[in-house]
Amino acid sequence: MYVLQAYGQLEKTVFICNYLLIPPMRKRINRQLNKGEQLHNLRAYLWFGSDGFIRKQQELEQQITAFSLTLLTNIVMAWNTVYIQEILKELKEEGYEAGGEPLNEEDFDHISPASFEHINRLGKYNFKDEIKLEGNGLRALRKPKSGFGFKKN
């Protein structure tokens, strides 16, 4: 047992040294941590009215509450993923580039589907208007006033 503990401590020490000495590794880990925080923020945004506490007494009701939040979170992330893919496809087709270079797969590492600024959780909804869909089955993308740091070729 002591050998396994010592081996685990050695692995942890090597990881910490690598983390401190290799800036690209640190950057990559921090970027992933930020994405995790964005996911927590999304869940906190969707969870309102109970201050983040499950107030049900029975375990089954607690599980239903937790599963409902997970389902809602997954729905938002799936929606965001579909539209992020559509935006990136449109940017590539229109010839936009990031930092003077064409968009590439490494640029996508910085994108997280856990954004929620566009979610209206407390507003009024009008379902009487018919939604016009594009040929791909999605709603039309809104055009930003600025290119968000992207330049057209």
pLDDT tens for 56-108 read 778 898 888 889 999 999 999 999 999 998 888 888 777 776 666 677 777 67
Q: Residue 52: what pLDDT?
A: 66
pLDDT, averaged across the chain: 83
Residue with tokens 């396994």: 4
Largest CA distance in the chain: 68
Q: What is the pTM of this model?
A: 0.69
- pLDDT for position 15: 95
Q: What are phi and psi of 101, to 5 degrees?
A: -120, 150
The pLDDT tens digits for 21-63 are: 999 999 989 988 988 899 999 998 888 766 666 777 788 988 8
